[in-house]
Amino acid sequence: MTAPQDNDLQQALQLAIEHIENFAPDELRDWLVWLLNGRDNLLPSDGYMSLTGPLAAIYPRLSSKIRDGINRAVLSMLGDMLAGRVWAGQAADELLLLIQQIGMKEAQDLLADYARLPRFHKVREDLRFRVCQALAALRVRMTVDFWHQVLRSNPDKFGGVAFIGLTVISPKSAIDLLSFLPDEERAAELIGDALPLFFELAGKSDAEAVRRHLAESLPQLAPKLRMEVEEYLQLESLTVMNPKDR
Protein backbone atom coordinates (compact mmCIF):
# COMPACT_ATOMS: atom_id res chain seq x y z
CA MET A 1 0.00 0.00 0.00
CA THR A 2 1.26 3.47 -0.88
CA ALA A 3 1.76 5.69 2.16
CA PRO A 4 -0.50 8.77 2.38
CA GLN A 5 2.48 11.12 2.16
CA ASP A 6 3.58 9.35 -1.05
CA ASN A 7 0.13 9.93 -2.53
CA ASP A 8 0.30 13.59 -1.55
CA LEU A 9 3.73 13.93 -3.17
CA GLN A 10 2.59 12.29 -6.40
CA GLN A 11 -0.47 14.53 -6.54
CA ALA A 12 1.69 17.60 -6.00
CA LEU A 13 4.09 16.50 -8.74
CA GLN A 14 1.20 15.86 -11.14
CA LEU A 15 -0.20 19.34 -10.48
CA ALA A 16 3.25 20.78 -11.12
CA ILE A 17 3.49 18.89 -14.42
CA GLU A 18 0.15 20.28 -15.57
CA HIS A 19 1.30 23.79 -14.68
CA ILE A 20 4.70 23.45 -16.37
CA GLU A 21 3.11 22.10 -19.55
CA ASN A 22 1.38 25.46 -20.00
CA PHE A 23 4.58 27.51 -19.83
CA ALA A 24 5.63 29.52 -22.86
CA PRO A 25 9.39 29.29 -23.64
CA ASP A 26 10.23 32.56 -21.85
CA GLU A 27 8.10 31.58 -18.86
CA LEU A 28 9.84 28.20 -18.72
CA ARG A 29 13.29 29.81 -18.61
CA ASP A 30 12.19 32.34 -15.98
CA TRP A 31 10.78 29.52 -13.84
CA LEU A 32 14.04 27.56 -14.13
CA VAL A 33 15.95 30.62 -12.92
CA TRP A 34 13.69 30.79 -9.88
CA LEU A 35 14.10 27.08 -9.26
CA LEU A 36 17.91 27.13 -9.46
CA ASN A 37 18.04 30.09 -7.08
CA GLY A 38 15.85 28.38 -4.50
CA ARG A 39 12.83 30.64 -4.98
CA ASP A 40 10.39 28.19 -6.58
CA ASN A 41 7.13 27.26 -4.89
CA LEU A 42 5.71 25.12 -7.69
CA LEU A 43 7.53 21.83 -7.08
CA PRO A 44 7.35 19.99 -3.75
CA SER A 45 10.78 19.78 -2.11
CA ASP A 46 10.20 17.25 0.68
CA GLY A 47 12.34 14.13 0.36
CA TYR A 48 14.74 15.50 -2.24
CA MET A 49 18.45 16.13 -1.72
CA SER A 50 18.69 19.03 -4.16
CA LEU A 51 16.52 21.85 -5.47
CA THR A 52 16.46 20.22 -8.89
CA GLY A 53 15.61 16.74 -7.63
CA PRO A 54 11.83 17.13 -8.12
CA LEU A 55 12.31 18.41 -11.69
CA ALA A 56 14.59 15.48 -12.49
CA ALA A 57 11.92 13.14 -11.10
CA ILE A 58 9.18 14.47 -13.40
CA TYR A 59 11.39 15.21 -16.43
CA PRO A 60 10.61 11.88 -18.20
CA ARG A 61 6.89 12.54 -17.74
CA LEU A 62 6.98 15.94 -19.41
CA SER A 63 6.08 16.38 -23.09
CA SER A 64 8.90 16.38 -25.63
CA LYS A 65 8.13 20.06 -26.31
CA ILE A 66 8.71 21.03 -22.68
CA ARG A 67 11.77 18.78 -22.34
CA ASP A 68 13.26 20.43 -25.43
CA GLY A 69 12.50 23.83 -23.93
CA ILE A 70 14.20 22.88 -20.68
CA ASN A 71 17.23 21.57 -22.57
CA ARG A 72 17.58 24.77 -24.61
CA ALA A 73 17.24 26.94 -21.52
CA VAL A 74 19.74 24.86 -19.54
CA LEU A 75 22.28 24.94 -22.38
CA SER A 76 21.92 28.72 -22.60
CA MET A 77 22.37 29.09 -18.83
CA LEU A 78 25.37 26.75 -18.91
CA GLY A 79 26.98 28.85 -21.64
CA ASP A 80 26.45 31.97 -19.54
CA MET A 81 27.85 30.29 -16.44
CA LEU A 82 30.97 28.99 -18.16
CA ALA A 83 31.59 32.43 -19.64
CA GLY A 84 31.47 33.90 -16.13
CA ARG A 85 28.16 35.67 -16.61
CA VAL A 86 25.40 35.69 -13.98
CA TRP A 87 25.59 32.14 -12.64
CA ALA A 88 27.55 31.48 -9.47
CA GLY A 89 27.28 29.84 -6.05
CA GLN A 90 24.42 27.48 -5.31
CA ALA A 91 22.59 28.29 -8.56
CA ALA A 92 25.60 27.14 -10.61
CA ASP A 93 25.88 23.97 -8.52
CA GLU A 94 22.19 23.19 -9.00
CA LEU A 95 22.44 23.82 -12.75
CA LEU A 96 25.27 21.28 -13.03
CA LEU A 97 23.38 18.82 -10.83
CA LEU A 98 20.33 19.10 -13.08
CA ILE A 99 22.48 18.35 -16.14
CA GLN A 100 23.69 15.17 -14.42
CA GLN A 101 20.26 14.17 -13.15
CA ILE A 102 18.57 14.31 -16.56
CA GLY A 103 21.60 12.89 -18.41
CA MET A 104 21.86 15.88 -20.73
CA LYS A 105 24.25 14.68 -23.43
CA GLU A 106 23.90 17.97 -25.29
CA ALA A 107 26.03 19.59 -22.57
CA GLN A 108 29.03 17.32 -23.13
CA ASP A 109 30.95 19.54 -25.55
CA LEU A 110 30.41 22.75 -23.57
CA LEU A 111 31.60 21.14 -20.34
CA ALA A 112 34.58 19.44 -21.98
CA ASP A 113 35.72 22.65 -23.68
CA TYR A 114 35.45 24.54 -20.39
CA ALA A 115 37.35 21.88 -18.46
CA ARG A 116 40.20 22.02 -21.01
CA LEU A 117 40.78 25.73 -20.37
CA PRO A 118 43.90 26.50 -18.29
CA ARG A 119 41.81 28.66 -15.95
CA PHE A 120 39.51 25.74 -15.09
CA HIS A 121 41.92 24.46 -12.46
CA LYS A 122 41.85 27.87 -10.76
CA VAL A 123 38.09 28.27 -10.34
CA ARG A 124 36.52 27.64 -6.94
CA GLU A 125 36.76 24.04 -5.82
CA ASP A 126 33.04 23.35 -5.47
CA LEU A 127 32.39 24.47 -9.05
CA ARG A 128 35.29 22.36 -10.36
CA PHE A 129 33.88 19.40 -8.48
CA ARG A 130 30.39 19.80 -9.98
CA VAL A 131 31.83 20.16 -13.48
CA CYS A 132 33.93 17.02 -12.97
CA GLN A 133 30.88 15.18 -11.63
CA ALA A 134 28.95 16.15 -14.76
CA LEU A 135 31.81 15.08 -17.04
CA ALA A 136 31.96 11.68 -15.36
CA ALA A 137 28.17 11.25 -15.23
CA LEU A 138 27.83 12.08 -18.93
CA ARG A 139 30.72 9.69 -19.75
CA VAL A 140 32.83 12.40 -21.37
CA ARG A 141 36.24 11.06 -22.40
CA MET A 142 38.76 13.52 -21.04
CA THR A 143 42.46 12.59 -20.76
CA VAL A 144 44.36 10.61 -18.14
CA ASP A 145 46.47 13.71 -17.43
CA PHE A 146 43.34 15.81 -16.87
CA TRP A 147 41.99 13.47 -14.18
CA HIS A 148 45.36 13.21 -12.45
CA GLN A 149 45.63 17.00 -12.35
CA VAL A 150 42.13 17.16 -10.87
CA LEU A 151 43.07 14.56 -8.28
CA ARG A 152 46.23 16.36 -7.20
CA SER A 153 44.25 19.45 -6.23
CA ASN A 154 42.41 17.54 -3.46
CA PRO A 155 42.63 13.72 -3.42
CA ASP A 156 40.05 13.36 -0.63
CA LYS A 157 37.40 15.31 -2.55
CA PHE A 158 38.12 14.35 -6.15
CA GLY A 159 39.20 10.72 -5.76
CA GLY A 160 35.83 9.14 -6.52
CA VAL A 161 34.95 11.32 -9.50
CA ALA A 162 38.45 10.99 -10.99
CA PHE A 163 38.18 7.22 -10.57
CA ILE A 164 34.97 7.13 -12.64
CA GLY A 165 36.29 9.65 -15.15
CA LEU A 166 39.28 7.42 -15.77
CA THR A 167 37.09 4.31 -15.98
CA VAL A 168 35.35 5.90 -18.96
CA ILE A 169 38.76 6.06 -20.66
CA SER A 170 40.27 2.81 -19.41
CA PRO A 171 39.47 0.68 -16.33
CA LYS A 172 43.20 -0.09 -16.05
CA SER A 173 43.97 3.64 -15.77
CA ALA A 174 41.32 3.95 -13.07
CA ILE A 175 42.90 1.13 -11.05
CA ASP A 176 46.33 2.74 -11.44
CA LEU A 177 44.91 5.92 -9.91
CA LEU A 178 44.09 4.13 -6.65
CA SER A 179 47.74 3.90 -5.62
CA PHE A 180 47.91 7.72 -5.54
CA LEU A 181 45.14 8.09 -2.97
CA PRO A 182 45.97 8.93 0.66
CA ASP A 183 45.27 6.64 3.60
CA GLU A 184 42.20 8.64 4.59
CA GLU A 185 38.75 7.35 5.52
CA ARG A 186 36.91 9.79 3.26
CA ALA A 187 39.03 8.93 0.22
CA ALA A 188 38.40 5.22 0.79
CA GLU A 189 34.64 5.75 1.20
CA LEU A 190 34.40 7.69 -2.06
CA ILE A 191 36.06 4.87 -3.94
CA GLY A 192 33.82 2.35 -2.20
CA ASP A 193 30.78 4.33 -3.38
CA ALA A 194 32.17 4.38 -6.93
CA LEU A 195 33.01 0.67 -7.19
CA PRO A 196 29.56 -0.53 -8.36
CA LEU A 197 29.66 1.88 -11.31
CA PHE A 198 33.30 0.99 -11.96
CA PHE A 199 32.47 -2.71 -12.33
CA GLU A 200 29.40 -1.89 -14.42
CA LEU A 201 31.51 0.13 -16.86
CA ALA A 202 34.51 -2.22 -16.69
CA GLY A 203 32.27 -5.17 -17.48
CA LYS A 204 31.83 -3.74 -20.95
CA SER A 205 35.53 -4.27 -21.64
CA ASP A 206 37.75 -7.24 -20.72
CA ALA A 207 36.39 -8.07 -17.26
CA GLU A 208 38.94 -10.79 -16.56
CA ALA A 209 41.88 -8.54 -17.41
CA VAL A 210 40.43 -5.79 -15.22
CA ARG A 211 40.09 -8.14 -12.23
CA ARG A 212 43.61 -9.44 -12.75
CA HIS A 213 45.03 -5.92 -12.80
CA LEU A 214 43.06 -5.04 -9.66
CA ALA A 215 44.50 -8.09 -7.90
CA GLU A 216 48.03 -7.04 -8.85
CA SER A 217 47.37 -3.52 -7.55
CA LEU A 218 45.80 -4.33 -4.18
CA PRO A 219 49.14 -4.63 -2.29
CA GLN A 220 50.09 -1.11 -3.41
CA LEU A 221 46.93 0.53 -2.04
CA ALA A 222 46.76 2.48 1.21
CA PRO A 223 45.45 0.22 4.03
CA LYS A 224 42.03 1.90 4.42
CA LEU A 225 41.44 1.86 0.67
CA ARG A 226 42.58 -1.73 0.30
CA MET A 227 40.17 -2.76 3.08
CA GLU A 228 37.33 -0.87 1.38
CA VAL A 229 37.98 -2.59 -1.94
CA GLU A 230 38.36 -6.05 -0.40
CA GLU A 231 35.15 -5.64 1.62
CA TYR A 232 33.24 -4.67 -1.50
CA LEU A 233 34.62 -7.62 -3.44
CA GLN A 234 33.64 -9.98 -0.63
CA LEU A 235 30.17 -8.46 -0.30
CA GLU A 236 29.53 -8.82 -4.03
CA SER A 237 31.15 -12.29 -4.18
CA LEU A 238 33.64 -11.03 -6.73
CA THR A 239 36.97 -12.79 -6.85
CA VAL A 240 40.26 -11.33 -8.01
CA MET A 241 43.10 -13.80 -8.17
CA ASN A 242 46.66 -12.64 -7.99
CA PRO A 243 48.62 -14.28 -10.83
CA LYS A 244 51.22 -15.41 -8.23
CA ASP A 245 48.54 -17.58 -6.64
CA ARG A 246 47.74 -19.44 -9.85
d(CA 39, CA 29): 14
pLDDT of residue 84: 75
pLDDT of residue 1: 34
In the predicted model, what is the mean pLDDT of residues 59-73? 96
Share of the chain above pLDDT 70, in %: 91
d(CA 7, CA 12): 9
pLDDT of residue 3: 43
Residue type, 61: R
* 21 backbone dihedrals φ, ψ, rounded to 5°: -65, -20
Q: Note the pLDDT tens digit of each residue in 159-202.
A: 999 999 999 999 999 999 999 999 999 999 999 999 999 988 88
Confidence (pTM)? 0.84
d(CA 200, CA 140): 16
Q: How confident is the model at residue 19 (pLDDT cuts 50, 70, 90)?
A: very high
Sign, CA torsion 236/242/243/246: negative
**131 CB contacts (<8 Å, ≥6 apart)?**
96, 111, 114, 115, 120
Residue 38: Cβ within 10 Å count: 11
| Under 8 Å between Cβ of 214 and 207 | no
Q: How confident is the model at residue 114 (pLDDT cuts 50, 70, 90)?
A: very high
H runs (alpha helix) in the chain: 4-20, 25-36, 53-58, 64-82, 89-101, 108-115, 125-137, 144-153, 155-169, 171-178, 185-202, 207-217, 223-235
